[in-house]
Amino acid sequence: MNTETNREPTNQEILDILQEECAEVIHAISKCRRFGLDETKSSTESSNRQRLTEEVMDVLAMLDWAVERNILLDDIPDIVEVHFPAKRESVRRYCAYGDSVNA
């Protein structure tokens, strides 16, 4: 890669890379579920937990860039204070519903 021609990504490229990083998170989660969080292929490689953490950090980095570009809304404090607890409650309801369906 020629670093002398570095340029800022377009908004479309930010979305493309965000999409790719989300897919990498999906892949990393699959490895964690199949082989366990602490599995490593060799003593020199990182664990599935480490790879998942790195991929989530990649997604967070791209989300931050998307906010900076105004691709996403920038009221992050509201998202953390309002959306995060609401999402957890939604997931808890979904889990309880799943339990009732599978009972």
Nearer to Mg ion, 60 or 91 (CB): 60
Name 39's Cβ contacts closer than 8 Å, sequence gap at least 6.
31, 47, 48
Supply the minimum distance, in Å, between the C-beta of residue 93 and Mg ion. 32
- The whole-angstrom separation of Cα 72 and Cα 66 is 6
Binding to Mg ion in span 2-61, by CB under 5 A: 21, 24, 55, 58
Here the tokens at position 33 are 């579920």
Query: Shortest distance, CB of residue 51 to Mg ion, whole angstroms?
Result: 9
Q: Which residues bind Mg ion (CB under 5 A)?
A: 21, 24, 55, 58
